[in-house]
Amino acid sequence: MCLSLSLSLHFLSLNSASPASPKLKLFSVFPSKASPFFFPFSSMGSLSDPFPRLLYPAARRDDSIVDNYHGVVIPDPYRWLEDLESPETKAFVEAQAAVTDSVLAECSEREKLRCEITALFDHERYEAPFKRGEKYFYFHNSGLQSHSVLFVQSKLDSEPEVLLDPNALSEDGTVALSIAAVSRNGKHLAYGLSSNGSDWITIRVMRIDDKKPESDTISWVKFSTVSWTVDGKGFFYSRYPAPKFSDREWDNVESGMETGINLNHQLYYHFLGTDQSEDLLCWEEPENPKYRFRATVTEDGKYIILYIYEGCDPVNKLYYCDLATLSGGLEGFKGSKGFLSFIKLVDNFEARYSVIANDESEFTFITNKEAPRYKLVRVDLTKPDEWIDILQEDQKDVLQFAYAVNGNQLLVCYLSNVKHILQIRDLKTGQLLHCLPIDIGSVTKVSGKREDTQIFFSFSSFLTPGIIYNCNLSTSVPEIKIFREVLVPGFNREDFLVKQVFFPSKDGAEIPMFIVSKKNITLDGSHPTLLYGYGGFNYSLTPYFSVNRVVLARNFGFVFCIANIRGGGEYGEEWHKAGSLSKKQNCFDDFIAASEFLISAGYTNSSRLCIEGGSNGGLLVAACINQRPDLFGCALAHVGVMDMLRFHKFTIGHAWTSEFGCSDIEEEFRWLIRYSPLHNVKRPWQKTSNASIQYPSTMLLTADHDDRVVPLHSFKMLATMQYILSLSILKTPQKNPIIARIDRKAGHGAGRSTQKLV
């Protein structure tokens, strides 16, 4: 993300006519020597000054590839770029990388930015401690370590010891710790490792007392948690069957370079000290190959809860297994050909159900059943038809989560106008007991069990790098103290101002947005501005601290903004549904309206406005520049979903059809083809009387090991944009660069090292 922001600064300065622009060296780009992949048609640069031509790679177009979608013929000339391992695709990637590297090399501010960002990253960071058995565990990064280190200590004030240092697992920081699950008795650590940012995980086990590795190795794990049984003899995990690949593909399995669809998820139980081949297959549904499974063991250790998911909507089935009904326990189940005897409590995908606590067979759940802003309900498993509300849906705030703590109390978090509120309530009645005083921001992590009178939670905001609070619940009024606070040298929160504004979208809906700037700026339309959005999958963008954005605001006067557009979960499931499926266009309208507000309010102008988003947000950015190329000076689309007609054919893309729809269905194809970024690139100067309108300076960012949104999306989009806007027309008005940054040995974003972030 930080490198992309470096580029945004450079592009915005080139395209701005404002006298407030930083004086950067303007650049010209030529390859060092002739290459068959370069085609000298396109030129680039500012709107006012001529520039030497930027030579884009001439990607082969295969006009024979044509699909018929419900009577509509759609060409796909760059289908060959879907083969990530073909020599032709690799040559395309290398040629594009050469263009981008030569552009970035001419940015005089890039090294200054790198130094500033590195300096701000160089500060201690902690995560909230958690207790297992009689030991405490926490993660810590001394500043510029590639990954945070897992520490263990016998007491909170005792000397900590390194338990697992992921930085020792690879020289270049490309092996990351994705899962860390300590057994209930505190004797073993099951940890999952991923390489190069891939979603594939390998689980290993370590003894905690002497820090010695066990022989256990679990492969083919993806989209999984690890849940230990209370006896510490093993754990549940989820995986896919080992695939059958050709020799070429086999080398890349579990590395993130494959694009094959992920089907037939399975739930297993692993016995400590045994080979994976002996693991118990606890559940699978071959007749429903797109289902995904996750199991947790209740805090009392008596029940296994099985969650079943199909898409990405906040809905799931929920089954349970009473371990007391297994003769001989799980060990006695060895050799059995059947699955565990799960009982189906919820056997449809109409709502979300998640266990909060249980007293024997009496369970408390959080759910959105007939409550789009969520509520707490209770049912006795012996009376499965008798559900009662414990904490009813709030009229305006969204119930985010609840944890059972301090015996019969609940730590409850609400989202109120995109800010978190914490409360202590009674577990039995839901009655409000205390409101916990926190600043405007986000609660990022909670650490505490039902037996604990002392809990921890982490807090962050745009101007708060991070605070871990210790909350003592044993007193009549909870006592909250700062346990640890992250301090960033050179950062002074008093230099900045945070506002939340509301603006109308195209259909009149009121959309919230956070605006962060230096204090006392003049609203004269001169400020370079970074607008970030996501708008999908029920995900809420709450306030958080960003080193790179602080650098831009402090050093270059950037205003940065977070638009809470529809499609997210900021106001519950209704807000989410208003930006998904047939209503996806609302997301783009909201983001465009946010841009227009920032211009009309005097923060910026279109030539100095950069938009940014990742994944679903990358789709957002690409769709917006297709629809309003005149509105932006720069666009940064990270790991975006660009081909809305074929996304469901790769890795886990089929799960996103609950959010987008599927081109296999005619009605849904009609939604998708209207905004699919790949299929809506048009020459803007041909749609208006203004012949100078062009696409903004655009960078598509992807990674070679992204097996979530596979890089073929960005590859095909890049080739399409360069061809339509530049390569296919001799005297093109498109002067702004259209380039890509293709990260190596990296994935969708998780597990990225500090060095890669910088």
Per-residue model confidence as pLDDT tens digits over 290-314: 999 999 999 999 999 999 999 999 9
Mean pLDDT of 423-436: 97
Average pLDDT of span 332-359: 93
CB-CB contact of 129 with 163 (8 Å): no
* 560 dihedral zone (left: phi>0; alpha: psi -120 to 50; beta): beta
Higher confidence at residue 332 or residue 228? 228
Is the model's pLDDT at 282 over the cut of 80?
yes
**Amino acid type, 324:** A
pLDDT of residue 53: 66
For residues 143 and 125, give the distance between their C-alpha atoms in angstroms, rounded to a whole number: 7
pLDDT at 374 over 70: yes
Nearest-10 Cα torsion for 638, 642, 648, 651: -30
pLDDT tens-place string over residues 687-700: 887 888 999 999 99
Helix, strand, or coil here: 737? Answer: coil
Query: pLDDT (tens digit, 9 = 90+) per residue, 111-132?
Result: 988 998 999 899 999 999 999 9
Which residues have C-beta within 8 Å of that of residue 128, sequence separation ≥ 6?
138, 445, 446, 447, 456, 457, 458, 468, 483
The span from the CA of 456 to the CA of 110, in Å, is: 39
Distances (CA, A) of 318 to 27, 223, 369, 427, 539: 58, 17, 13, 21, 22
**Predicted local confidence at residue 109, as pLDDT:** 86
Task: Pick left, alpha or beta for residue 301 (phi over 0 → left; psi -120 to 50 → alpha; otherwise beta).
Answer: left
Confidence of residue 37 (pLDDT cuts 50, 70, 90): very low
Average pLDDT over residues 239-250: 67
Tens-digit pLDDT profile for residues 572-614: 999 999 999 999 999 999 999 999 999 999 999 999 999 999 9
Confidence band for 52, pLDDT divided at 50, 70 and 90: low
Residue 49: per-residue pLDDT = 40
Percentage of the chain modeled with pLDDT above 90: 83
Burial 124-148 (b: 16+ CB within 10 A, else e): ebbbbbbbbeebbbbbbbeeebbbb
pLDDT at 544 over 70: yes
Query: Does the structure show a pLDDT above 50 at 680?
Result: yes
Asked if 238 and 224 count as a contact pair (C-beta separation under 8 A), the reply is yes
pLDDT surpasses 60 at 246: no
| Comparison of pLDDT for 328 and 666, the residue scoring more | 666
**Nearest of 79, 74, 49, 83 to residue 61 by alpha carbon:** 79
CB atoms within 10 A of CB 198: 29
DSSP 8-state code for residue 393:
P
Tokens 């922001």 map to which residue? 5
Report the candidate in 648, 667, 582 with the shortest Cα–Cα distance to residue 290. Answer: 648
pLDDT at 245: 55
Percent of the chain with pLDDT over 70: 91
pLDDT in tens, 488-514: 988 999 999 999 999 999 999 999 999
Q: Active-site residue numbers?
A: 615, 706, 748
The set of residues, in sequence order, having a beta carbon less than 8 Å from that of 401 and lying 6+ positions away, is 366, 412, 413, 446
8 Å CB contact between 81 and 65:
no
Residue 667, burial from CB neighbour count under 10 angstroms (0-12, 13-18, 19+)? exposed
Phi, psi at 132, each rounded to 5°: -135, 125
pLDDT of residue 745: 86
726-743 residue pLDDT tens: 999 988 999 999 999 999
HEC secondary structure over 7-46: HHHHHHHHHCCCCCCCCCCCCCCCCCCCCCCEECCCCCCC
In this structure, how many other beta carbons lie within 10 angstroms of the beta carbon of residue 218?
Answer: 22
Q: What is the DSSP annotation of 243-293?
A: P---HHHHTTTTTT---------EEEEEETTS-GGG-EEEEE-TTSTT-EE
Lowest-pLDDT range of 2-6, 35-39, 181-185: 35-39
The DSSP bridge partners found for residue 671 are none
Locate all alpha helices (DSSP H) within 614-695, ordered by sequence. 616-627, 657-660, 666-675
Cα–Cα distance for residue pair 340/266, rounded to 1 Å = 13
How many other CB atoms sit within 10 Å of the CB of residue 18? Answer: 17
Q: How does the average pLDDT of the chain come out, rounded? A: 90
Q: What is the pLDDT at residue 687? A: 82
The residue with tokens 């900590």 is 160
Residue 642 amino acid letter: M
Q: Which of 316-320, 430-434, 690-694 shows the lowest mean pLDDT across its residues?
A: 690-694
Cα–Cα nearest to 363, from 391, 349, 384: 384
